[in-house]
Structure 1
Amino acid sequence: MIGGSIDQAKRLIDLYRATGRDAGHSDEKLQVGITSHFYIGETQEKALDDFYPYYQRYLSPETNGGRGWHIDRTQMGHLAARRGALMVGGPREVAEKILALSSELGVHRFLGQVDLGGMPQQMVHDSIERFGDIVAPSVRHVLTR
């Protein structure tokens, strides 16, 4: 999920599952994993502000051999909103989005692309630490009830 929304991903996942069932595979074998650009900041707003310059650089056609696109802060905010594809926010918001992927789409695995656009090493480290210390345990707690 590099762009778009959970609703757009749902259409693709539904197609995948229908095609898998038509090919004789059971629903249990048709597992789904999703990946997204990822950053966990101290708060939602701080995460968006801190991540934006690196995300903008990462997507830019100038740094992608002409294949990228220009994105402004407002557009990035829409992608990071509750139903958007971008996993950027505070720990609570990211945990809620991961849980939404599980409950609404039946996603079994989430892979965050954590280092992009020349992010400083400390920023990457802090995001991974917040994921491991706060987000993953809270998601696990809800999913294992």
Structure 2
Amino acid sequence: MVLGLIGGSIDHAKRLIDLYRSAGRDAGHPDDRLNVGITSHFYIGENQEQALQDFYPYYHRYLSPETNGGRGWNVERTQMMQLAARRGALMVGGPAQVAEKILDLRSELGVDRFLGQVDLGGMPQQMVRDSIQRFGDIVAPAVRHVVTR
């Protein structure tokens, strides 16, 4: 299963993942076949403060009712910051914060894969590229180092 975690917290995701695994076991599937991936909105800045500041206008635009044909909402900066906090669904921050959050998904939820939704709200191409590069150069090796110990 790949769960789109675009709001709420790890605790909310845990309830859904536990339900998935319980149903899988009841259907006769072994635990090692009940893999879970998480996907979330994603941006890695140079540091936490800069990432939140840079990402907000694009996140706000992406979610707004005007952009989503009336289906979105006007997210406030404080809401985004809550979602970007340690246990929140939004994977936005500096490399250390994002690595920590990905490792939390693994340790607390048993997540096997993480997929970041990296281009949203009209982000400039260089901003997207820089985020992907920080992921590849800093975050992925840090996560891999912990996971393969």
Normalised-by-shorter TM-score class: over 0.9
Question: Partner amino acid for 2:44?
Answer: I
Residue type at the aligned position of 1:31: N
After TM superposition, where is structure 1 displaced by more than 4 Å over at least 4 residues in a row?
A: none
Aligned to 1:59: 63
In 2, distance between residues paired with 1:86 and 1:69? 16
Structure 2, unmatched stretches of 5+, are: none
Structure 2 residue 131 is matched with structure 1 residue 127: yes
Q: Does 1:98 align with 2:102?
A: yes
Q: 1:1-145 counterparts in 2 under 5 A?
A: 1-145=5-149
State the aligned residue count: 145
CA distance in 2, matches of 1:93, 1:99: 10
Residues 5-44 of structure 1, C-alpha deviations (whole Å, 9 max, x = no match): 0000000000000000000000000000000000000000
Partners of 1:45 and 1:84 in 2: how far apart?
16
* Identity, % of aligned positions: 82
Letter of the 2:40 counterpart: S
1 CA distance for matches of 2:86 and 2:28? 35
Q: Distance in 2 between matches of 1:144 and 1:113?
A: 25
Residue type of the partner of 1:48? Answer: L
